[in-house]
Structures are given as C-alpha cells and as structure tokens.
Amino acid sequence: MKKFGLLILSAILGSALTIGSFFLFNLNEKEPVRIQHLSGAPVVGTAYTVNEEGDVVPLEFTDVAANVMPAVVHIKSTQVSRISGNQYRSVPDPFRDFFDDDILERFFGPEFNNPRQQRELVPRVGSGSGVIINSDGYIVTNNHVIDNADDIEVTLHDNRVYKARVIGTDPSTDLALIQIKGKGLPYIPFVNSDDVEVGEWVLAVGNPFNLNSTVTAGIVSAKARNINILQDQSAIESFIQTDAAINMGNSGGALVNLQGGLIGISTAIASPTGGYAGYGFAVPSNIVSKVVEDLLEYGSVQRGYLGLMIRSVDGNLALEEDLDITQGVYVDSITAESAAGEAGIKVGDVITRVDGSEVKSSSELLELIGRKRPGDKVDLTVNRAGHVKEYTVALRSREGTTGIIVTEPDEILEVLGIELEDIDKNTARKLGIPGGVKITGLHSGKLRNTTDIREGYIITKVDGEQINSKDEFIRIMKDKEGGVMFEGVYEDYPGIYYYAFGI
C-alpha cells in the first residue's frame, strides 16, 4: 500500500515539475520554444491482404497513389452561349464585311443592323477529370464533361497546360476520347474488369471541387448496376459501384485496383444532396477499352444489337410468367428484323448465358453485347419453359446491317465542327424541300463559335447552290473562301433560317 502511495506521489511531483518547467521555459523570453519533429517515421499497415501468389502483404495505398496520380488530369471545358435578339439574324459582326449590305437586307430585312440585335457571349465553365491511357496524349473522360464545349483545357499533375481536341464521343456509355499534344506522358494501363470482385479494395483518383489530384479509397460494393442516369436511347449501364468518395469533378477520373490498373472511369454518384453519400459508379474498363478502340480504328463506335426488348428476371416476374428460374434476362418482345429473333429466340425465353458467361440481369447482358460489333457472333443459352436451348446469333447494327461503318473525318467538317447525314426522301417531301444534309453533331468549330446554329438544322443551300448530299456539301465547301451563307430549315420550327460566317 505504501509503495502504491509513493507511486502516486511520484507521478504528481513529476507532472508538477514538468508543468513548472514548461512555464519557466516560456517565461524566459531569451529562449525560443523548441518543438521536436520525428523524420522518417515508418508507415504502419493497418490491414493485410493476399496477393496472387498467396503471400500476405500489408495493405497500404501510397505506392499505388504515387503511380497513378500523374496520369489523372484536370479538364476545364468552356461553352460560349450566344444570346441574340433574333435567331433569324445570325451573321456575326466580325464577318459582316464579307457581305454587301443589300445581300444582308435581302436575306434578313432592313432591321438587321439594329444595335439591339447584337450578340452577347456568355461563357459557361465546367470541370472534371480525365485519364491518360497512352504516352501520346490520348485521354478518356466522360462525354458529359466535354459535351458541347467550345474550348477544352487539360492540366496535368505537374501543372502543364494543354488544349485538347475531341477524337470521338459515345453518349450511350457517357464516354469521350480527347487528345493533347504531349509525348512521353505517364498513363494507366487497362485491366480486365470482369476479374474485379465485390469487396476488392479500389482507389478513386480525380479532381473533386477543383481539388486537384485527390485520392480516396474504398471497396467495390457491387457490379453491373443500372441506375437509369444515361438519357441516350441505346444507353448501356452496367456500372461498378464503389464506396470510395466520388464528388462533382471526379467525373472522368480513374478507378484503379491496388496494382494500379484501370478498372473503370468514375461517372456518377447517387446522393440525396448532390454530394458524396457512399454510392459512386464507374464505367467498367472493358467497355471503355472497346469504345476507345472503335473511335481510333473506325471513327465512331460500332455496336451490335440483338434486336430484343428485355428486362431482368426477379421473383415477381417469375410468378407472373410462371418461370422455373428467378435469375436471368426475360425476352419481352422482338423487334423487326431482329438478329436474335431470326436465330430462333422467342418471346418468353430467359437468357441465362452469353458465350458461356452467366448473366443474371439485363445490365449484365447489355454490357456483354455492348462489347461486340455488327457481324460478331454470340452464343446464347436460354431457358424456355424449363428446357435449356443454345442459339448462335450474328449481331446487327441499329440499321439492321452486319457491316462495319468506317467514318473518315473530313478536314472541312472538322473546321466547321459538324457531323452530317443525308436526309431521306420522305423527310424532304414532308418539309417541302428538294433535298439537304442534316447536322447530327455539333462540336467546337467555326459554326458553333460564330453562329447560333443548332443540331437538327438541315442545310438546303450554300451561297444559293442546292445541296442534296453530304459528298456534294463537302465538295462545294472545300473551295470556299471568305463569307459563306447557309440556307436551310429545322424540322420542328417553321420558316427558313440563314447562317453566315467567314472562312
């Protein structure tokens, strides 16, 4: 008991001496307060994992983060909204010198030069992330990050800044491929996203809220998630779900495994507040890889279709349709000229496997088919009234063909920043025009930067010369210099619209 009392007394005296020394030390103004720092303190792994060889290794993220951060970039996209007093009067001020006043008045009326009609430029700036995928400056990001941008600026991890050009986009998966003029750049390699397992550790790297090079950690929470966020008619949603923190600005960033391989592109969050709530979603790398390959090789994404209307099987559907199974993909209906229908698939069939891989939901089926091109053959296993059957289907494009369509970019179309297609005879007859070409895509270029033109505009004449096809338009435009006047119509607006610009 005495020893215990002595220990308490010693502790009290020691504390008193320490406190007294502290105050005496600080009261002596001639002596500065010294704070001791420890350098080289080891990082202690808080957990362990097992590698492919079965070895137990400490679970820490520093090496992975150091390797992948230099390959994740910040993207600033600027869109200039143009406000004009009258959308019919669309000749920008810098190019009025290309046209005589009598031509302008003939097209637009005497009130064209009214100062109230002058254009206002209102810039809108958005930001996101991107992933460098090879050393030549190709970068994958989300389509919604750069969609309709007039200017795309990329900032690297080391603060170098580049302007980027759009190589191609795929709204169906919300992916885009852009390129900067950089060489020898760090990049992240793709890995097989099919091998990713629920519960696996992952890192999300991006630029949330303009906080560059932010790394968060979490696990794979689920696979093949469909959250109905993409509005495209042929949307493919089969997201990897993670609880790694993803916020605004992470879009287009990297989701990597602990070996530093790219398993997905961060795309969306589910949140009641608009901020992180534990549910982030990424496009699997196998889909990303296929989109990138198509854009580089063919100029556009080549996608095969089964020609089916489908839905996931669950307990309620199994009871409703008297099915023997509760997992798979139910065939609701078959479209005209359906590739699967002609191969023998029927309404009421439940697709259970694609090329030997089990499918439990429609999102899994869409992902597997979405990696295929027109003409590719797939083996489908179906359950038909309790009997298992096998079918081989030659996939078709949305137009019903099995061929690959190669889109060769034309220089004049890149300068104008447009994509065109010929209009069919029925559309021409309905609009009361002999023919024309329709703008199906509008990117950064002469038309977006200097006019109010919109997607869907049908060009019927160029400087008074009738246009009947895309080839004819390109041939005429290649020789143009100075001022150019488009005449055309919109399907959903009455009247004739004129747009003028300078080359």
As annotated, the active-site residues are 144, 174, 251
The per-residue b/e assignment along 385-411, b for 16 or more CB within 10 angstroms, e otherwise, is eeeeeebebebbbeeeeeeeeeeeebe
**3-class state of residue 443 by DSSP:** coil
The CA distance from 337 to 9, in Å, is 94
**Cβ neighbourhood burial of 156 (10 Å; 0-12, 13-18, 19+):** buried
Which tokens in the block code for residue 472? 């004819």
The CA distance from 436 to 448, in Å, is 20
The CA distance from 279 to 221, in Å, is 8
Helix (H), strand (E) at residue 269? strand 262-269
The CA distance from 239 to 401, in Å, is 28
Helix, strand, coil proportions of the chain in percent (round to 5)? 25, 35, 40
Q: Which residue has the tokens 């810039």?
A: 123
Helix (H), strand (E) at residue 447? helix 446-450
Residues 6+ apart with CB under 8 A from 133: 139, 140, 187, 188, 190, 262, 292
User: How many residues in total does the chain contain?
Assistant: 503
The CA distance from 166 to 339, in Å, is 33
Which tokens in the block code for residue 321? 């349709």
DSSP character string of 198-264 = TT-EEEEEE-GGG--SEEEEEEEEEEEE------STT----EEEE-S---TT-TT-EEE-TTS-EEE
The CA distance from 406 to 401, in Å, is 13
The CA distance from 76 to 396, in Å, is 37
Residues 6+ apart with CB under 8 A from 154: 73, 74, 75, 76, 130, 139, 161, 162, 163, 164, 178, 180
Q: What is the 3-state secondary structure (H, E, C) of 305-325?
A: ECCEEEEECCHHHHHHCCCCC
